[in-house]
Amino acid sequence: MKGTHLFSNGVSYIYASNAQLSTMKNEVLDVSGMRALPLDLDSAISLMPYVRFLEKRIAEERTLKSAFYKNILHHFRENNLPEGDIPLEEAAQYSDFFEYIYGTLSAPLASEHQLAWGMSFPLYPYIFYGTDLLFEMLNTKPFEQHYELQKNPDDYQRERLHLIYTLILQRLYNFQVPVKIQQYHAWTDVHTGLLRYFEVLVSPEFVEVSAKKELPELNFVEIYAHFSEKDGHLQLQKMLPLGMFKFRGFAVITVTDVTARMAVENIKKVQFNRIPGDSPSRYQRIIQSLKTLVQNNRIEFDLFPFVRVNGQAVYGYEQAGTGVLFQIWGENRLTPEEFRRQAESYAAKPVSFFSSDIQSEDARQIGWLTPFRNLNVRSLALVPLFVEQKLVGVLCMHTWEDERFDEKKMAWLEMAFAPVAQLLNIYIEEFNLELEGIIKEKFTSIQPAVQWKFNDAAWHYLHRRKKGLPEVSENIAFFDVYPLYGAIDIRNSTNERNTAIRADLGHYLGKLDELLNALLPFDRSSLMQELRFHTSKWQQSVQQGELNSTSENNLTNFLNEEARNYLVHLSQQDARTTALIEDYLGLTHAAQGEVHRNRQNVDRSMELINTAVNRYFEDEKDTLQQSYPCYFEKFRTDGIEYDIYIGQSIAPDRPFSHFHLKNLRLWQLSSMIEVAKLTRSLLADMPMALHTTQLIFVHNHMIDISFRADERKFDVEGAYNIRYQMIKKRIDKVRIKYSDERLTQPDKIALIYLHHRDIEDYLPFIHYLQETNALDPVTEELELEDLQGLSGLRALRLGIVYNPAK
């Protein structure tokens, strides 16, 4: 069907099936909701891709399936089914054969009444055959109602072209690019007034692509770039006009009701898509998602976080939902002392409560229900929520007047308890950070990229002083900047240092033992015997690995104070011992002594790494400014970490575009590869072999930063933005979910992110670096363990290629 305009007039054709199947239908349904714009595609339905699939399976299969496949192939040939194109309006004639296709491609034990499965026109959103359930789910004209996930025709067209060119490149160029062939549809249920969600998954396995003329050579670096650009499909159409290709076969469609899952996902999204000052709308989205989860618009919800100051419970000031808990437990009804007493009593024994009708409960036995009764609450459930066994608040589910719910509705909510608890915990952390932000600020240096802002502030200050006007503290801030964070950590640096220190202590004790044995002929005092006894005991402790931090400090004190002082005393009393003791003191000298060699080797190796990495970033910092001014701050821990901020407000006189950000993200990946190679090249010069790990945290949302004048340092602005800093501090030692394996590993780069869309800018660059043998072609996609106040982290882990094949 070339240049098809099917459905362009808004008419939906329906064809009756010749086969009397109670669970399958032959109707044509436009699942795009009339959003599919015309495309100049040489596309048609064909059975031949499936027939070729059967022939291949018959040749390979050694089970009873082979006979089944042969029967299908026999049916195809016996009935002279067409080997050419099948017009869409004639598709219903072949419903018997479609039933065979359904039988081979659907789950063998699945019931047609429970499976939403269908076949669609290749690369057009027209379903022409499927189960009853599929048509029941999609044929209710949801597209005419409110769409939470609405895409306009241009967006829909862009996604279609992305899929089409992905197929072309995969089938004809063997070139893989990331593609999303699934969609989430949402519409308002007319019975409940709540959103319903369905996932539509499209499989193009039986769509064959062929070229009508010789294929041009392509620059795949440019191809990657076009796939990451919003209007990249326009460039692809110039390079590979659609008229060059033809598409034959059919696509397989499966549709799943994912309302519950999406409701919980929407709650999780609120955690990471917050905007300062949007608390009312933020909590309204949570409440609406909870209603969607229980599919009842008359059930109400309320959230009440438990916040503390100096360890004492205090009022929170966020009212989420109906505010019924805040009315009953808030400052309008309780004094701070009364609230603290009741809150601490509940926190000591937090229990769930449920009643389908609190009006019928005995007021004498449950007196605390009286305020709820006075507000005309009928059904009531109170659920304490926890994060890492810490009470973070209460979820209230209730109805007014005559509406009621039972325990089954509470069971539906269970999957939302964890994300809602995380949200309450985030509020508590933001509350604490808001308090801390008043009393704690940090230092930083003024860099050329932001010098102009300080010049303006200094001029304003000078102007007011010269005019004799009162001094005013001017806020130096940069709004809506993108943060980039990277960390190069020395693997197991703490363990290596501790191991070295204990090895040195063992050596130290050995030298002391040798000296004491040599001094024995000159001193047989009780003090000498005690010193030898303690030396022997400490040697046993070190050899058996029984040292902890306390005993290690005691041993250091024994060596540097008790033993040393006595030996100095002995050398002054008996000149015959002086030479022996001076040799020992030289070996144990704090700076050059032989007994500190292992620790010094670790320190020198760490210094070698940090100096080289620090110098690398110093050079790169100046180079990065040439593309677009950015604020670059690095700091040393056991390795090197850096923060970069870039955005229009950093350089308001220079236009900022997303390409500047993408350039930095590509640099992040490339620089991590170079740093890993740099530190690996230092191994031959290291007294102690140490390896580095490379970590990038991807935060795809803009934040605000401001200068703390009294501490001379830039810091993030606002509770939501401070959350970004908190995440950075917690991810350095994160482990892979359900394992003890650390995410960060030598010879690898780890990218931590929250949502897949956060790393979309990085994916083309990752593939580019893999294609150019800078990175290993295998990409590990990992889920990470939950951290304090943080869940849902994911990561990509990429291997570094040190000696790529030429």
Residue 334 has pLDDT above 60, yes or no: yes
Burial label, 213 (beta-carbon count in 10 A; 0-12, 13-18, 19+): exposed
Instruction: Return the residue matching tokens 């080797």.
Output: 601
Q: What pLDDT, on the 0 to 100 scale, is given for residue 657?
A: 92
Residue 585 has pLDDT above 80, yes or no: yes
Of the candidates 613, 777, 621, the one whose C-alpha atom is nearest the C-alpha of residue 681 is 613
Phi then psi dihedrals of residue 703, to 5 deg: -130, 175
| CA end-to-end distance (rounded Å), the chain | 46
Mean pLDDT of 503-528: 86
pLDDT tens, 6-16?
Answer: 332 332 333 33
Distance CA 668, CA 670 (A): 6
Q: Which residues pair with 197 in a beta bridge?
A: 186
Q: Which residues pair with 393 in a beta bridge?
A: 305, 385
Query: What residue spans in the chain does CATH classification 3.30.70 cover?
Result: 480-492+601-705+727-800
- Per mean pLDDT, which range of 287-291, 328-332, 458-462, 557-561 is the poorest? 458-462
Mean pLDDT of 561-569: 85
Q: Which residues pair with 483 in a beta bridge?
A: 645
Of the candidates 650, 628, 626, 621, the one whose C-alpha atom is nearest the C-alpha of residue 450 is 650
Structure tokens at 484: 């980039």
Is the distance from CB of 631 to CB of 447 less than 8 angstroms?
Answer: yes
Distance CA 289, CA 287 (A): 5
Q: What pLDDT, on the 0 to 100 scale, is given for residue 444?
A: 44
| Residue 372 Cα to chain centre, angstroms | 40
- Spatial CB neighbours of 540, under 8 Å, sequence gap ≥ 6: none
Q: What pLDDT, on the 0 to 100 scale, is given for residue 17?
A: 36
CA dihedral 463, 469, 475, 478 (to 10 degrees): -30
Q: Which of 319-333, 341-355, 761-775 has the highest mean pLDDT?
A: 761-775
Q: Which residues pair with 222 in a beta bridge?
A: none
Phi then psi dihedrals of residue 140, to 5 deg: -95, 15
- Per mean pLDDT, which range of 236-240, 544-548, 675-679 is the poorest? 544-548
**To the nearest whole percent, how much of the chain has pLDDT over 70?**
85
**Is the pLDDT higher at 745 or at 427?**
745
Q: Which of 209-213, 411-415, 492-496 has the highest mean pLDDT?
A: 209-213
**The pTM is what?**
0.45
Which H/E stretch holds residue 783? strand 775-783
Buried b (16+ CB within 10 A) or exposed e, 497-507: bbebbbbbbbb
Of the candidates 120, 708, 779, the one whose C-alpha atom is nearest the C-alpha of residue 437 is 708
Is the distance from CB of 28 to CB of 107 less than 8 angstroms?
Answer: no
For every residue of 303-330, DSSP letters joined together read EEE-EEETTEEE-----EET-HHHHHHS
pLDDT tens, 644-656?
Answer: 999 999 888 899 9
- Spell out the alpha helix ranges (H) of 93-150: 95-105, 132-138
Distance CA 517, CA 511 (A): 10
Q: Which residues pair with 696 in a beta bridge?
A: 486, 751
Q: What pLDDT, on the 0 to 100 scale, is given for residue 181?
A: 54
Residue 679 has pLDDT above 90, yes or no: yes
Instruction: Return the residue matching tokens 């002392």.
Output: 337
Q: pLDDT-based confidence at 726, cuts 50/70/90?
A: confident
Taking CA atoms, 304 is separated from 57, 384, 424, 433, in Å, by: 60, 10, 8, 19
Q: What pLDDT, on the 0 to 100 scale, is given for residue 9?
A: 30
Mean pLDDT of 739-749: 94
Is the distance from CB of 707 to CB of 456 less than 8 angstroms?
Answer: no
Burial label, 468 (beta-carbon count in 10 A; 0-12, 13-18, 19+): exposed
Mean pLDDT of 752-762: 91
- Per mean pLDDT, which range of 35-39, 86-90, 257-261, 633-637 is the poorest? 35-39
**Is the pLDDT higher at 440 or at 515?**
515
**Cβ neighbour number for residue 416 with a 10 Å cutoff:** 22
**Is the pLDDT higher at 726 or at 698?**
698
Query: What residue spans in the chain does CATH classification 3.30.450.40 cover?
Result: 260-439
Of the candidates 629, 364, 385, 601, the one whose C-alpha atom is nearest the C-alpha of residue 501 is 601
The pLDDT mean for the chain works out to 81
Q: Which of 374-378, 405-409, 786-790 has the highest mean pLDDT?
A: 374-378
CATH, domain range 260-439? 3.30.450.40
Q: What pLDDT, on the 0 to 100 scale, is given for residue 348?
A: 83
For domain 480-492+601-705+727-800, which CATH number applies: 3.30.2310, 1.10.10, 3.40.50, 3.30.70? Answer: 3.30.70
Mean pLDDT of 531-540: 87
Residue 47 has pLDDT above 90, yes or no: yes
Of the candidates 106, 123, 82, the one whose C-alpha atom is nearest the C-alpha of residue 208 is 123
Instruction: Return the residue matching tokens 């010269």.
Output: 466
Residue 138 has pLDDT above 80, yes or no: no
**Is the pLDDT higher at 245 or at 556?**
245
Q: What is the DSSP letter of 631?
A: E
**Is the pLDDT higher at 197 or at 138?**
197
Q: What pLDDT, on the 0 to 100 scale, is given for residue 318?
A: 62
Residue 76 has pLDDT above 70, yes or no: yes
Q: What is the DSSP letter of 122?
A: T
pLDDT tens, 181-240?
Answer: 557 777 777 777 888 888 888 888 899 999 999 998 888 888 877 777 777 777 788 888
Beta strand extents in 140-268 (DSSP E only): 182-188, 195-203, 207-211, 245-249, 251-257
- Per mean pLDDT, which range of 546-560, 635-649, 771-785 is the poorest? 546-560
Q: pLDDT-based confidence at 530, cuts 50/70/90?
A: confident
Please tell me whether residue 76 adopts helix, strand or coil conformation. Answer: helix
Structure tokens at 39: 């495309």
Largest interatomic CA distance in the chain: 117
Burial label, 626 (beta-carbon count in 10 A; 0-12, 13-18, 19+): exposed
Q: What pLDDT, on the 0 to 100 scale, is given for residue 155?
A: 74
